[in-house]
Amino acid sequence: MLINTRVEDKKLLEDNQEKLEVVLEEMSKVENQEEIKPIIVDDLKYVGVLEIPSINLKLPVLDSCTKENLNKGICLYQQADTIIIGGHNSRNFFNKIYKLEPGDKAYYYNTNSIKREFKMVNSEKIKENEIEKLTNNKYSMILFTCTFDNRGRYIVEFE
């Protein structure tokens, strides 16, 4: 069972890396569009790329946090005043965000190749039902994943 899981994890990681390359290639072709349009790869809609050098993470970001999308990658939960990105606490996605420290940099590129830089300022565990801590906040970007015991959420806040 563990061997099959590792094989599936490796395949998922390779699949995401291939999609990342396609998304980056398509982003390089976009010329100053006003409207941000998703890039479609294998019927999945990508709206950007998240990069966090300190934990060696660079992944394409899916357009919405559905159960299906969460099983395939990291995804955009909200993009209003705060960019909120969610992902499973797995080796292929957000299992290393626990290692982030204040001052660590993160970069978000939308599909128009506009790069935004963020600095990690805080992290905390919240209860599963404390969604307002994600949506009612003062931060520019928030990443979230489930806790190791799957009883809550771990959030990382950036300015």
Q: What is the mean pLDDT of residues 121-142?
A: 84
Res 3 pLDDT > 60? no
Res 31 pLDDT > 70? no
The pLDDT, as a whole number, for residue 9 is 61
The model's confidence at residue 74, banded by pLDDT at 50, 70 and 90, is very high
CA dist list (Å): 21 to 25, 33, 114, 145: 6, 21, 17, 24
CA dist list (Å): 62 to 1, 37, 97, 146, 151: 29, 12, 18, 18, 24
Relative to beta strand 152-158, strand 141-146 is: antiparallel
The CATH superfamily label for domain 2-158 reads: Sortase (2.40.260.10)
Lowest mean pLDDT among 17-21, 45-49, 111-115, 143-147: 17-21
Please tell me which residue, 144 or 20, carries the higher pLDDT value: 144
Domain positions in the chain? 2-158
Q: Which two tokens stand for residue 40?
A: 């479609």
**Structure-token match 């978000």, residue found:** 108
